[in-house]
Amino acid sequence: MSRTLAPVVVFAYNRPVHLQRTLDALAGCRLAADVRVVVFADGPRKPEAAAAVAEVRRVLEAEGGAGRFGAFEVHAAERNLGLANSIIGGVGRVIERDGRAIVLEDDLLVSEDFLAFMNDCLDFYADDPAVGAVSGFCPLQAMPPGFEGDVFLAMRNASQGWGTWKRVWEGVDWSASGKQRLDRNWAMRRAFNREGNDRYDRLRRQMAGKIDSWSVRFGLSLFLRGLGTVYPVVNRVGNTGYDGSGVHCGSGAPINERIAESDYSLQQVALDPAIQRAFHRTYSGSLRGRLAREALALWPALATRLGR
């Protein structure tokens, strides 16, 4: 085919069953036979993880000989890099070569039109000055009344089933020094939290070394550059990792577990306050948690005094 598809970058660690399901779903996509899949498999974090990591490598070895994708490339780390470092380094490596990438982790299931949708978005919004990323995930189970369209823009990035371009990735400040601007400016903190008041608190915990998130740092970079993420109205990405098996997801229920494919058309997008409010309700959590985070966003020094 004449069209050049974005490579799909998959990150795996110690969940062979989840990874197999992710690869099976990806192989079921239209265009799968033409896409290059690049897998970064992390090394064991602890000795007791070695057996599961070895099983993941066996899954990848078998997939390499299955011929289900246009190309299948594996980079297996000998030591544990952690998810954040793996994604920052792996995505950067692929984007440097290909100029764009689609990113999946090993607990995601995708719809059959996922690759078509993501590549169409990466083509359509490639030079859009308002767009920094695209995603196949939709966290909203229902759109605000009166909304028309198949895609929408949000200033909150997606961490599952997403893609971006070199023009965006190479401008990310992974030290997140821009947090200082938010610390000094209440209005900026409020804007950063407009689509979920967990965001500034996650950024604060990242800088305090209490979490290790690539996503909140990527999101900060997009926000400070005025770049949004394009989402679909119909969710195309499901998460199977809320079963206690993951290092980062924990247990519970996914935000939106219904995935489907659908006809779609792409158009220029702009922020919709109703969608921003819907995001805020979806991501801000319980009333108690919202109030605590609102206080921390109002007075950043309070977190230090409370030792949080």
Amino acid at 213: S
Cα→Cα distances 104→8, 167, 288, Å: 7, 20, 32
CB atoms within 10 A of CB 129: 10
Q: For residue 115, give both structure tokens.
A: 């690759």
Q: For residue 211, give both structure tokens.
A: 């979490």
**How far apart are alpha carbons 216 and 231 in whole angstroms?**
17
The pLDDT score that the predictor gives to residue 3 is 82
Point out the least confidently predicted range of 195-199, 205-209, 287-291: 287-291
**How far apart are alpha carbons 107 and 21 in whole angstroms?**
8
Q: Are 84 and 76 in contact (CB under 8 A)?
A: no
Q: For residue 204, give both structure tokens.
A: 């604060």
HSE, side-chain direction, 13 A CA sphere, residue 228: 20
Strand-pair partners of 41: 12, 76
The pLDDT score that the predictor gives to residue 204 is 94
In this prediction, residues 285-296 reach a mean pLDDT of 65
Q: Quote helix, strand, coil % in the chain, to nearest 5.
A: 40, 15, 45
Q: For residue 60, give both structure tokens.
A: 């990848």
Q: Are 33 and 255 in contact (CB under 8 A)?
A: no
Q: What band does 1 get if pLDDT is binned at 50, 70 and 90? A: very low
Reported as type and span, the H/E element at residue 162 is strand 162-165
Q: Are 257 and 238 in contact (CB under 8 A)?
A: yes
Overall size of the chain counted in residues: 308
230-281 pLDDT tens trace: 999 999 999 986 555 545 444 455 666 789 999 999 999 999 999 999 999 9
**How far apart are alpha carbons 194 and 278 in whole angstroms?**
10
Reported as type and span, the H/E element at residue 133 is strand 131-135
**How far apart are alpha carbons 305 and 308 in whole angstroms?**
8
Torsion, CA 290, CA 225, CA 155, CA 197, rounded to 10 = 0
The pLDDT score that the predictor gives to residue 246 is 47
Any residues with CB less than 8 A from the CB of 57 and at least 6 apart, and which? 41, 76
The pLDDT score that the predictor gives to residue 258 is 84
Q: Kindly report the three-state secondary structure assignment for every residue of 206-241.
A: HHCCCCCCCHHHHHHHHHHCCCEEEEECCCCEEECC
67-122 pLDDT tens trace: 999 999 999 999 999 999 999 999 999 999 999 999 999 999 999 999 999 999 99
The pLDDT score that the predictor gives to residue 287 is 60
In this prediction, residues 185-213 reach a mean pLDDT of 95
